[in-house]
Every structure is written in C-alpha cells, then in structure tokens.
Amino acid sequence: MAARWVWARGTNGRLGYGSIRDGVPLKSPPGPSVDIDRAVIAWAILVFALLFLGLAPLYILHIDLAKLNASTAGVAPIVLIGILFTAYTPTIAALLVAWRWPGAGGVRKLLRQVTRWRVHIGWYLVALLGPIPLLLLADLIFVMFGGAAPKQWLAMPSGTAEGGMSALLFTIGAVIAGAIGEELGWRGLGQSRLQVGTGALGAAVIIGLLWSTWHLWPVAVPGGLSLFAWTDFPETYLRLTSTAVLYAWLYNGTRGSLLVVLVAHGAFNLDNSIVLATNPRTLTRQPLNLAEMVGSRRES
C-alpha cells in the first residue's frame, strides 16, 4: 500500500505534511515560512493607540514635558492621569485583545500564567538577585557611550537619598507599574504567542524593539526630546532588547510562569552570555514544546 501524504496543521499551528501509513510526524514544508499571529499584531497596534490616548492631554493643552518634569504645580489632573495611564497600556491592551479578539484565548487563560508559582526556588533567586548585575551593566554601557558616571554604583533607595521621599515613591510606583502594567502584555500575550511561530529568541527581539520604542514616548510630545541625550537611544534599545531575551528565558525556563517575570521586572540588562548555552528556538536547555505550553492557536 502506497503511503498517503497529507497536509495538516501541527501543534504549533503551522502547515506541515506527513504520512498516514507510517505515522511520520508533521514536518514544516521546505523553504521560508511566515506565521503571523494576528492577535499579536492587533495587541501591538492597540498598545500604541492607547499610549497616544493617554498622551492626548499633553497635545491638547500644549503642555511642555520638560517643564512638567521640573514641576507639576498647577497642571491639570487629566494630564497626570493620562501619563499614569500610559504605564499600563501593554496590560490593558492584552486584556482587551484576550477578551474580544477571536482565538486570543480569553482573559482567564492570560491571567492563569500569573498563578504558576510552583517553580524551583532558584528561579526566584535569579529574579530577585539579577537586578544587581543588570543595573551595573546598564550604567557601564551608559558611561561607555559618554554618559556621566553615577555618584554611587550601588545604593538602596531611601527617603534620605537624592530625590527624597518622592524618589522613593516613584521607585515603588515604577516597580508596580512595570510588573502589573506591562508584563501581561510583553510576555503574557506578546512573547507567549509570537514565539510559537518565530521561536523564543526571534520573538524576544521583536518584543524588545517594541518595548524600547514604547519607552521612548517622551520624544513624541512637546518638550520631550530635550530630556534625552543622544546616548539614551542606543542604550535603551540595547538594554531593553537584551532584557526581553532574559525575560523570555525566565518565562520559558519556568514553563510559562509570568509570576517569576513579574518578580524580575524591577531590573534590566543581564549579560547576553547567560543564554549562549541555550537553544535559540526555546531559550532553555530542556526540550520544550512552545505550542503545548501556551496552547495551540486552534485550541485558543
């Protein structure tokens, strides 16, 4: 009996072929293949649409961001609320897409990743202690590009440090906004779905570029460009793209524990050598089916 060859979709949602008679697993067809997740595209567009919605009061009221950065006295509350709103746009966009976009999996599936806490304690230690070399490396890169060296290379934030209690409160707020406001988007929806078609490393680089561009929003509002030195731009893209690779490694190494990534989000930039010994397809040394981890497109 001759083998009967069929075309079908594998667990990663991509079209492949195989034989019914001998049970050969589905293989990707020869040649380049492009697998576009429309839910991720919709999410990325919505992230930036919501971002500019939050920044709209700056344009409408002709607020100079440089002056606002120096003092918020007398500024309309809607301006400050809008800026605060921008910090949560990745997560808000992810929740909206998961809720309404066909095949996006639903909000419950997205939030379930935060409850995956049963992982080896070593991952939590990496997430908690990783910020030290991350921040030191970021400062070193900044200095190498001509930036001024920090007064202290290591310093715990406190109410008596430079900036006082406002700096301490800003640090706490940034950690909360960074973890809750961003990670359900960048890793929870973006990385988890995009890597099924492109691989973990490719998805992390794409997410890192989006993440970097999103963080540079001040250049698009009045007076914002004056707050940046030219070194801030390459440093931001290098820092956040490498951090995105690190977070993808943490996310996949813990088999989709977004909680570990939430813990780690307070720090940036671990040396890229940490992932040199891993498989660029999964960013983990262990075999891992990315489609099974996050659920196939058809199941979602």
Rounded to whole angstroms, how far apart are CA atoms 56 and 125? 41
Rounded to whole angstroms, how far apart are CA atoms 36 and 45? 14
Rounded to whole angstroms, how far apart are CA atoms 251 and 188? 9
Least Cα distance to 162 among 173, 151, 148 occurs for: 151
Helix, strand, coil shares, percent, the chain, to 5? 60, 5, 35
Which residue matches tokens 């019914």?
20
**135-153 as b/e, with b when 16 or more CB fall inside 10 Å?**
bebbbebbeeeeeeeeeee
User: Which two three-digit tokens encode residue 76?
Assistant: 């309309």
Rounded to whole angstroms, how far apart are CA atoms 215 and 265? 14
What local confidence, expressed as pLDDT, does residue 18 receive?
A: 42
Rounded to whole angstroms, how far apart are CA atoms 254 and 128? 15
- Domain ranges across the chain: 1-33, 113-294
Contact criterion met (CB below 8 Å) for 111 and 256:
no
Rg of the chain on CA atoms, in Å: 21
Backbone angles phi, psi at 19, to 5 degrees: -105, 135
The pLDDT tens digits along the chain (300 residues) read: 444 433 334 434 443 444 334 333 334 444 444 456 899 999 999 999 999 999 999 999 999 998 887 777 788 899 989 998 999 999 999 999 999 998 888 999 999 999 998 999 999 888 877 767 666 776 777 778 777 776 666 555 554 444 445 545 555 555 566 678 899 999 999 999 999 989 999 999 999 999 999 999 999 999 999 988 888 899 899 888 988 998 999 999 999 999 999 888 765 433 333 343 456 666 665 666 666 655 544 344
Q: How many CA atoms lie within 13 A of 146 on its CB side?
A: 6
Cβ neighbours of residue 3 under 8 Å, at least 6 residues apart? 19, 20, 21, 22
CA distances to 81, 195, 245 from 40, rounded to whole Å, are: 27, 11, 18
Q: What is the DSSP string of 192-238?
A: HHHHHHH-HHHHHHHHHHHHHHHHTGGGGSTT-GGG--TTHHHHHHH
What local confidence, expressed as pLDDT, does residue 266 receive?
A: 61
